[in-house]
């Protein structure tokens, strides 16, 4: 039988990741193209369709072997209609018909979902979820994204905006401004940006000493990686930041687990690369705030797919739709 592939697309503000994936979830070929958000984003889907066609030609594959396209996009998506409701950095007007647009450009069936939800589906299918049907995925990157899977399906909510874990308020009074317009969201303390902000506030308080202060002096800035590495080396200030960040994360995740009792809560995104120093401290707070039956059954784990989670989850969407 000829190869039967699906395409997974992870649309980002500056680059778009594309992969050809088998129905069993093996990535055959993956690459990236720049996202062209000029001209109100009118070139985005035609560029993706063109890139897919060119790659099939390059690989000597007939276009008939490609069955459909799954796509993750950075904003709330109405899954049934494939309309992306609002998105800040792609140039599109509100309520852009993304599914219709990519289907027309590529002449293939498509399925569209929010990118954090796609990452959650990817981890469920091929990653840390290990087939778990009840899964919460938290992406700790520049922002904080979330995806909730119950009984194998993404929880969409009324407006496609369910699972916005990053915008749960953790500092009710006097919190830092968030990109969403509120203040004190989890994203303002647990994203890479938030961690750096907290560290900078401490470092600027006066004569900070220790490894983190030295890294700041040497490089003119610090990253969240600096905070975790310095904490691991015993730096007091870095450990104070770690304690604050993981307190809020553990508290929020315990509250989510008390509501949903998922099999697993998976931590992904760049910040999760800190590994056990992050996971152990979050676990400690999680155990403190989770209801006992939840604490004993819901497990916290680090994501295993890295940047591939989005394209795999997107592919899973179209595979499921084609199988129906």
Least distance to Zn ion, CB of residue 127, Å: 26
Least distance to Zn ion, CB of residue 200, Å: 19
By beta-carbon proximity to Zn ion, the closer residue of 60 and 181 is: 181
Least distance to Zn ion, CB of residue 172, Å: 13
Q: Does 17 bind Zn ion (CB under 5 A)?
A: no
Q: Does 293 bind Zn ion (CB under 5 A)?
A: no
The phi and psi torsions of 131 (rounded to 5 degrees) equal 85, 0
By beta-carbon proximity to Zn ion, the closer residue of 180 and 217 is: 180
CA 174 to chain centre: 27
Instruction: Select the span of 114-122, 141-149, 173-181, 297-305 touching Zn ion (CB under 5 A).
Output: 173-181
- CA 266, 269, 275, 280 dihedral sign is negative
- Single residue of 28, 59, 88, 180 touching Zn ion by CB under 5 A: 180
Q: If you search the block for the tokens 């852009």, which residue do you land on?
A: 96
Q: Does 185 bind Zn ion (CB under 5 A)?
A: yes
Least distance to Zn ion, CB of residue 251, Å: 16
Write out the DSSP string of 77-134: EETTTTEE---SSS-PPSSEEHHHHHHHHHTS-EEEEEHHHHHHHHHHHHSTTTT-SS
DSSP code for 176 = P
Least distance to Zn ion, CB of residue 88, Å: 13
Q: If you search the block for the tokens 């600096």, which residue do you land on?
A: 226
Q: Does 182 bind Zn ion (CB under 5 A)?
A: yes
CA 295 to chain centre: 24
By beta-carbon proximity to Zn ion, the closer residue of 180 and 293 is: 180
Q: Residues 151-170 vs Zn ion: string with x where CB under 5 A?
A: ----------------x---
Q: Quick check: helix, strand or coil at residue 296?
A: coil
Q: Does 195 bind Zn ion (CB under 5 A)?
A: no
Is 204 within 8 Å of 222 (Cβ atoms)? no
Instruction: Select the span of 19-27, 180-188, 195-203, 256-264 touching Zn ion (CB under 5 A).
Output: 180-188
Residues whose CB falls within 8 Å of the CB of residue 283, separated by 6 or more in sequence, listed in order: 250, 300
Separation CA 98–CA 113 (nearest Å): 10
Q: Count CB neighbours of 25 within 10 A.
A: 16
Separation CA 144–CA 191 (nearest Å): 6
Q: Does 87 bind Zn ion (CB under 5 A)?
A: no
Q: Does 178 bind Zn ion (CB under 5 A)?
A: yes
Least distance to Zn ion, CB of residue 181, Å: 7
Size of the site for Zn ion (CB under 5 A): 5
Instruction: Select the span of 96-104, 184-192, 215-223, 309-317 touching Zn ion (CB under 5 A).
Output: 184-192
Least distance to Zn ion, CB of residue 185, Å: 3
Residues at the site binding Zn ion, with contacts judged by CB under 5 A: 167, 178, 180, 182, 185
């Amino acid at each position: 039988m000829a190869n039967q592939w699906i395409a997974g697309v992870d649309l980002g503000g500056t680059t778009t990741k594309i992969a050809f994936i088998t129905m069993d979830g093996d990535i055959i070929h993956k690459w990236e193209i720049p996202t062209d958000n000029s001209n109100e984003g009118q070139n985005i889907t035609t560029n993706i369709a063109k890139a897919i066609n060119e790659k099939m030609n390059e690989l000597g594959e007939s276009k008939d072997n490609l069955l459909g396209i799954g796509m993750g996009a950075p904003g709330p998506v109405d899954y049934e209609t494939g309309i992306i409701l609002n998105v800040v950095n792609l140039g599109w007007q509100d309520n852009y018909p993304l599914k219709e647009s990519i289907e027309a450009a590529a002449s293939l069936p498509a399925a569209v979902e929010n990118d954090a939800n796609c990452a959650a589906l990817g981890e469920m299918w091929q990653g840390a979820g290990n087939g778990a049907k009840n899964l919460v995925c938290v992406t700790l990157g520049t922002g904080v994204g979330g995806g909730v899977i119950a009984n194998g399906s993404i929880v969409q909510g009324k407006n496609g905006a369910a699972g916005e874990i990053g915008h749960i308020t953790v500092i009710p009074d006097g919190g830092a401004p968030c990109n969403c317009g509120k203040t004190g969201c989890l994203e303002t303390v647990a994203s890479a940006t938030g961690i750096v902000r907290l560290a900078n506030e401490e470092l600027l308080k006066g004569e900070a000493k220790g490894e983190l202060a030295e890294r700041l002096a040497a490089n003119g800035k610090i990253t969240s990686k600096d905070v975790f590495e310095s904490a691991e080396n015993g730096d007091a200030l870095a450990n104070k930041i770690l304690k604050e960040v993981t307190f809020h994360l553990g508290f929020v995740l315990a509250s989510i687990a008390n509501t949903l009792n998922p099999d697993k809560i998976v931590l992904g995104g760049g910040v999760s690369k800190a590994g056990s120093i992050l996971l152990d401290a979050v676990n400690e707070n999680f155990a403190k705030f989770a209801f006992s039956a939840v604490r004993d059954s819901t497990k916290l784990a680090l994501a295993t797919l890295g940047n591939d989670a989005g394209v795999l989850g997107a592919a899973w969407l179209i595979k499921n739709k084609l199988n129906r």
